């Protein structure tokens, strides 16, 4: 890494670029009937766990074929080690993701406005966050980076999704680009991936989760490769990591600059405040009602205060309350008081994270799933069918966390 790698001019260049390859394929698909093509494309991507068939979307199939292979220099053994880190710490990762990584990003209006376009997180936060957790599971699951693996396919789908967002934003929010730059640009995409990796590691350190430096770097490496598969590279260098942090220290340098460039105060970011409020309200809803009677409804706010810090919380309208200090003390003794799950040899943070995974799926789809996330929408439909009637098909086995 050079001393001034993440300079303003370098990040301005990234901020001005989207994903030419994905945009070109998306534009071909929408030439005839724009809205119907968009609907069909995203319906196809939502409902299939394999590349869409060539006879349905031949151009889309070609895109998937062109972007399906990892560069030969990728260390697959290191990916395996990074995937194992997630498998061992899935619940704590989920906790950090929902109380730090996602809400902290809302402080950047260039991100929060895009996230708030559909109103999905405010009106249906469970669906939005289940989708986010599904991405994390897909990227971090074993063998996800093999040819045609779940991580590779997720990156391909997200590239096309982002192309669709750029298309829709330019058509229906034409003023956005003049103020905030290219929608879903490379700088913002990198910041999002760093939220799933570097900010998670930062939060794990705050919680004293006990990861070694090698484990941290291996976990980060998984997401570094995923960033490349997401198209964060020069258009003519698909195997180049030159726009992706080399390691955790480099990621810290990038994210510190990104915060300074894009985070704003709450009064300048109403979309971020709305998303922050919706996120907190949803997390409070995860706490069992009887525990809320004893003040445990403040747990999510306390985690956000500890993991994000008062300044970052204030940027999205999350203010500290007088009981936070007491709640933080309770957290230190949570394992003596909290028994909603019969989990043995787990930390207090893992218990809370386990509750988030369980309740998220229950609330979103009514499925009786224990510590699992469905691997595709077919399994979600199976869960719904199982709930609605005894004659429905049995749910497929979900990807275990």
- The pLDDT tens digits for 368-394 are 333 344 444 444 444 334 434 443 333
Tell me if 304 sits within 8 A of 282, measured CB to CB. no
What does the pLDDT look like over 57-112, one tens digit per residue?
777 888 888 898 888 899 999 999 999 999 888 888 988 999 999 999 999 999 99
Secondary structure, 3-state, 156-211: HHHHHHHHHHHHHHHHHCCCHHHHHCCCCCHHHHHHHHHHHCHHHHHHHHHCCCCC
Residue 389 lies in a domain: no
Query: What is the distance between the alpha carbons of residues 97 and 220, in angstroms, rounded to a whole number?
Result: 14
Give the count of domains, the chain. Answer: 1
Residue 391 lies in a domain: no
pLDDT of residue 138: 86
Query: What is the distance between the alpha carbons of residues 284 and 299, in angstroms, rounded to a whole number?
Result: 8
**For the residues 164-186, what does the mean pLDDT come to?**
91
Range of the domain at 172: 8-381
Residue 390 lies in a domain: no
pLDDT of residue 28: 86
Higher pLDDT, 134 or 283: 283
Residue 2 lies in a domain: no
**For the residues 133-144, what does the mean pLDDT come to?**
85
Tell me if 392 sits within 8 A of 386, measured CB to CB. yes
pLDDT of residue 318: 93
Q: What is the pLDDT of the chain when averaged over all its residues?
A: 80
* Percent of the chain topping pLDDT 70: 73
pLDDT of residue 36: 77
Tell me if 352 sits within 8 A of 304, measured CB to CB. no
| Residue 120 pLDDT class (50, 70, 90 cuts) | low
Query: What is the distance between the alpha carbons of residues 203 and 218, in angstroms, rounded to a whole number?
Result: 16
Residue 187 lies in a domain: yes
Tell me if 14 sits within 8 A of 185, measured CB to CB. yes
Residue 393 lies in a domain: no
Query: What is the distance between the alpha carbons of residues 339 and 341, in angstroms, rounded to a whole number?
Result: 5
Residue 129 lies in a domain: yes
| Residue 302 pLDDT class (50, 70, 90 cuts) | confident
Q: Which of 199, 315, 304 is nearest to 263 (CA)?
A: 315
Query: What is the distance between the alpha carbons of residues 171 and 187, in angstroms, rounded to a whole number?
Result: 22
Reported as half-sphere exposure (CB side, CA atoms, 13 A), residue 236 has a value of 0
Residue 1 lies in a domain: no
Quote the pTM value: 0.84
């Amino acid at each position: 890494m050079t001393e001034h790698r993440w300079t303003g001019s370098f990040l301005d260049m990234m901020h001005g670029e989207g994903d030419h390859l994905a945009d070109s394929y998306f534009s071909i698909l929408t030439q005839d009937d724009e809205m119907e093509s968009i609907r069909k494309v995203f319906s196809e991507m939502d409902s299939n766990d394999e590349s869409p068939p060539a006879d349905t979307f031949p151009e889309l199939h070609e895109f998937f074929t062109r972007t399906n292979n990892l560069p030969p220099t990728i260390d697959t053994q290191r990916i395996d080690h990074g995937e194992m880190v997630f498998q061992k710490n899935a619940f704590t990762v989920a906790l950090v993701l929902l109380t730090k990584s996602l809400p902290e990003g809302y402080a950047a209006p260039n991100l929060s406005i895009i996230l708030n376009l559909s109103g999905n997180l405010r009106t249906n936060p469970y669906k939005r966050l289940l989708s986010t957790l599904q991405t994390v599971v897909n990227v971090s699951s074993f063998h996800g980076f093999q040819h045609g693996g779940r991580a590779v396919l997720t990156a391909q789908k997200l590239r096309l999704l982002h192309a669709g967002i750029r298309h829709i934003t330019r058509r229906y929010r034409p003023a956005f680009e003049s103020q905030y730059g290219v929608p879903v640009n490379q700088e913002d995409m990198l910041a999002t991936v760093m939220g799933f990796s570097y900010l998670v590691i930062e939060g794990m350190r705050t919680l004293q989760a006990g990861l070694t430096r090698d484990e941290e770097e291996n976990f980060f490496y998984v997401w570094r490769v995923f960033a490349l598969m997401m198209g964060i590279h020069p258009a003519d260098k698909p195997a180049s990591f030159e726009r992706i942090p080399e390691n955790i220290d480099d990621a810290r340098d990038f994210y510190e600059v990104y915060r300074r460039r894009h985070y704003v105060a709450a009064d300048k970011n109403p979309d971020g405040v709305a998303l922050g409020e919706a996120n907190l309200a949803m997390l409070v809803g995860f706490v069992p009602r009887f525990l809320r009677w004893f003040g445990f409804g403040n747990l999510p706010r306390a985690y956000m205060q500890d993991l994000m810090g008062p300044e970052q919380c204030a940027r999205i309208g999350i203010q500290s309350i007088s009981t936070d200090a007491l709640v933080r003390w309770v957290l230190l003794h949570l394992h003596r008081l909290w028994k909603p799950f019969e989990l043995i040899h787990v930390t207090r943070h893992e218990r809370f994270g386990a509750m988030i995974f369980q309740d998220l799926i229950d609330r979103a789809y009514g499925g009786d799933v224990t510590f699992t996330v469905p691997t595709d929408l077919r399994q979600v439909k199976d869960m719904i069918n199982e709930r609605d009637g005894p004659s429905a098909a049995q749910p497929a086995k979900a990807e275990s966390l």
